[in-house]
Amino acid sequence: MAVPYEGRHFCRVFAARVLAAHGVPLPAVAKPERATDWERVPKPEPLAVVVFHTGAAPDHVGVCIGRGRFLHVEESSRSRIEFLSSPLWSSRIEGYYRYKGEK
């Protein structure tokens, strides 16, 4: 069942819930490079966070689920799975980040 959008920055709340279900804490930081226990990785992998530029700064996140797909929710929409290679998202990718702490 798709989760409805619940307000500003809900993409982060949604991603945190998805990751928490797998024992992974999502840090509450505006800039991914400031997150302790997380590292930038060169390619998507399951449970990595993908950060997108939809404005002037990185402002949208999703959770990589494998096979080139990610799960996210955005304004005026419900949660959904999309391809990282889609024209809408591929040019907006800021980077991929993986939790390196203990699970």
Helices (H), 1-103: 10-20, 87-90
Q: For each of the chain's 103 residues, which pLDDT tens digit applies? A: 678 778 777 888 899 999 999 999 887 766 666 778 889 999 999 999 999 998 878 889 999 999 999 999 988 889 999 999 999 999 999 999 999 876 5
Three-class secondary structure assignment of 40-59 = EECCCCCCCEEEEECCCCEE
Whole-prediction pTM: 0.90
